Structure 1
Amino acid sequence: MKSIDLNCDMGESFGPWVMGDDQTLLRFVSSANLACGFHAGDPMTMRATVRDALALGVAIGAHPGLPDLQGFGRRAMTMTPDEVYALMVYQIGALSGFAQASGSRLRHVKTHGALYQMIVREAALAQAIAAAVRDVDPSLLLIVSTPNLAQAAADAGLRVVHEVYADRTYQPDGTLTPRSQPNAMIVDVERSIDQVRHMVHEGSVIALDGTRVPVRADSVCIHGDQPGAASFAQRVRAGLEADGITICAP
């Protein structure tokens, strides 16, 4: 029986401002990618989300992003590899502390937002990210969706999990459609389920221009900030389980 991970970006509330329905989402996913306080999240949110994930047996991962609370980490910044390395170590270390304080540990790392787009363009940044993960804890899994990061992870001796997206559209080169462009998000859950099934069973995704793009689907991502994310997660999970696929963390 085939198994696959269903992950979600969450823990993105800040102070009195609430983002997403994390407690409901956690019922349907197998891995949680928690914001680490730079693009979103705060210490209280990090602590609470770690606690809630552990109570439901959901694997915990760090979701480090750019230092851009106002822009939610979705605005590119000019950064050196050394700066990116330091940002990664800082954020992974912060969430790891909360996991250890709760009697657990981090399972994985996944980069957020504009940092993903920057990796696509700059291999040196991908190498800095892989080096930071390795230096903090070489047993951590690195979730990847770009060739640059997959290669950097392999060079660093890290185990990788290849990710696809349930709620995002793709470009012909295999990258995600930028959020600044039309049709970047998939808001129709049936379309999302069809895309996920195609990626999982066929090993490819249909880009916006109709191109068939090869993908490897070890883990499927749903964004916790999307309206109706919990319903998306529930129905995507049900669709995969109906195909005989087990949902579990890698």
Structure 2
Amino acid sequence: MYSIDLNSDVGEGIGNEASLLPLLSSCNIACGGHAGNDTIIQDTITLAIQNNVKIGAHPGYPDRENFGRKILDISKKELALSIKEQIIKVKNFAERQNQKLHHVKVHGALYNLASVDVDIARLIIQVVEEINKDIVLYVPYHSVIQEEAKERLHLCIEGFADRNYNNDYTLVNRTLKGAVIHDVTKVLTHVIPMIKEQLLTTIDNKMLPFGIDTLCVHGDTTTALQILRELHIGLKRHQIEIC
């Protein structure tokens, strides 16, 4: 029997949390930096509690205009302060409902940059350590941040159900054709080998080693709900438990 955590980035103003949360085992809640607000955070935490979903913070560049998907030209001091404030915001809201913050997963351009930039990776790790060393950090496979954090924090290695990869394990840029996978049948073909064979097929059809603990479906992918429903059916058919 295989198992996988199933997560999604939520609280980003899409408004589909009530539909998505029952299908998840963990969620990453926008902290007001790239998206979200206090009301959405509180409501999403309530839904997470009702559905026994692990609560995570999803900080990004404080850039709502670009949804945190462009690298922001700010100092490392400003960036660290913003990330820390964002995480603490979700942590505090969770604790008001007698819940612990389970994990942190950074968003968008910050996530992608931390995959390859050692200074940004270390900045994020240090912020999480300052808040609570028991918080799990969700990181991409074969990334700089995974390597830097492996001796310092609890890690959960992440793969993407609805995104294609380049041959260097980075995500295909969203501006390029085929970057986002919308077809639910293609999603299953994409993820089953990740879990059962620890293999990734890149956008160039190259097979690479791949070991993950959690699988993400972006909450703003237009077919997110259909993908999650099909994943529940398809994973069960392949004897993969969602946990």
Task: Give the TM-score normalised by the residue count of structure 2.
Answer: 0.96
User: C-alpha separation between the residues in 2 aligned to 1:154 and 1:48?
Assistant: 33
Q: 3-state DSSP class of the match of 1:127? A: helix
Q: Does 1:51 align with 2:46?
A: yes
Q: Deviations over 1:43-77 (max 9, x none)?
A: 00000000111111000000000111111111112
Q: Does 1:5 align with 2:2?
A: no
Give the ranges of 4+ consecutive aligned residues of structure 1 lying more than 6 Å apart after TM superposition. Answer: none
Q: Does 1:152 align with 2:159?
A: no
Aligned position for 1:233: 228
Q: Does 1:129 align with 2:142?
A: no
Q: Which runs of 5+ in 1 are unaligned?
A: 14-18
Q: Would you say the 8 A contact 1:80–1:125 is kept in 2?
A: no
Letter in 1 for 2:10: M
User: C-alpha separation between the residues in 2 aligned to 1:147 and 1:225?
Assistant: 24
Letter in 2 for 1:66: Y
Q: 3-state DSSP class of the match of 2:5? A: strand
Q: Residues 171 and 95 (structure 1 numbering): CA distance in 2 closer, same or farther, change over 3 Å?
A: same
Shift of 1:20: 4.3
Q: Would you say the 8 A contact 1:4–1:247 is kept in 2?
A: yes
Q: Deviations over 1:182-213 (max 9, x none)?
A: 11100110000111101111112111111112
Aligned position for 1:16: none
Aligned position for 2:168: 173
Q: 3-state DSSP class of the match of 1:234? A: helix
Q: CA RMSD in A?
A: 1.2
User: C-alpha separation between the residues in 2 aligned to 1:88 and 1:43?
Assistant: 16
Q: 3-state DSSP class of the match of 2:8? A: strand
User: C-alpha separation between the residues in 2 aligned to 1:206 and 1:246?
Assistant: 22
Instruction: Choose the corresponding residue for 1:90, options 85, 92, 109.
Output: 85
1:3-82 to 2 correspondences below 5 Å: 3-13=3-13, 19-82=14-77
User: C-alpha separation between the residues in 2 aligned to 1:120 and 1:226?
Assistant: 22
Task: Give the TM-score normalised by the residue count of structure 1.
Answer: 0.93
User: C-alpha separation between the residues in 2 aligned to 1:70 and 1:81?
Assistant: 20
Q: 3-state DSSP class of the match of 2:115? A: helix
Identity %: 35
Shift of 1:113: 0.3
